[in-house]
Amino acid sequence: MPDPRPPRWRTRPSPGCATCSASARTTPQNTAAYLPAITGDPDHCHLTPENSRRLRALAAWFTLAAYGVDGHAEIVTRTVAAALRLGERLSTLPGVELLSPVRLNVVCFAVPGDVPTVLRAVADSGEAFLTPTVLHGRPALRAAFSNWRTAGADADRVAEAVGKAL
């Protein structure tokens, strides 16, 4: 099942926190294919309501004051366009398969061969940071566009890095 959480565009910091409980069984746990596995030891990454709780309104207000509603709309439009562009570029690479339609800023795709090897090669290129995931039982890669500086050329660089890694 796809991740039901909405994407976070990086126009403001994403703070972290921890939740203390007498029993880990009653504490909410975050799990996703791109997070480390849950262990038996206290694992503060997974024992949080959503990894970010604090006065968010202030940071949101600052970004609205800086960019305005139109500025935020432009960032979202541009990052979604970059994701669509990456999806189009990846679909032309031999053996690469989009595992879901690109609807927002995330592209989920399968690659031929070993996913961790491709992931490492892309990271080592310095062009992009992709995350591993599993969709419908298939190991895959995901690219999420959320930085306020992202442009269409960034999608091209990611596609070229994936192509070289294959």
Q: Within this chain, do residues 73 and 140 fall inside the same structural domain, yes or no?
A: yes
pLDDT beyond 60 at 21: no
Same domain, 30 and 74: no
Please tell me the total count of domains within the chain. Answer: 2
In a domain, 11, yes or no: no
For the chain, how long is the longest CA-to-CA vector?
52
The pLDDT value given to residue 89: 96
- 92 plus 127 within the same structural domain: yes
Distance, CA of 165 to CA of 126 (rounded, Å): 12
Share of the chain above pLDDT 70, in %: 67
**Contact assessment for residue 91 and residue 122, using Cβ atoms and an 8 Å cutoff:** no
Give the separation between CA 65 and CA 49, rounded to whole angstroms.
Answer: 28
**pLDDT over 80 at 16, yes or no:** no
Question: Is 5 within a domain?
Answer: no
Contact 62, 130 (CB under 8 A): no
93-122 per-position pLDDT tens digit: 999 999 999 999 999 999 998 999 999 999
Would you state the pLDDT for residue 28?
A: 56
Question: Rounded CA gap, 146 and 105, in Å?
Answer: 7
Task: Judge whether residue 13 has pLDDT over 50.
Answer: no
Pick the most confident of 35-44, 64-73, 157-166.
157-166
Condensed to tens digits (0 to 9), the pLDDT of residues 48-79 reads 555 555 566 777 788 888 888 899 889 999 99
- Which residue range(s) make up the domain with 146? 67-165
User: Six-digit token pair at 114?
Assistant: 């070993």
Q: Which two tokens stand for residue 136?
A: 């419908």
Q: Does 72 lie in the same domain as 49?
A: no
Mean pLDDT of 138-157: 92
Check residue 2 and give its pLDDT.
43
Is there a single domain that holds both residue 46 and residue 85? no
Same domain, 96 and 141: yes
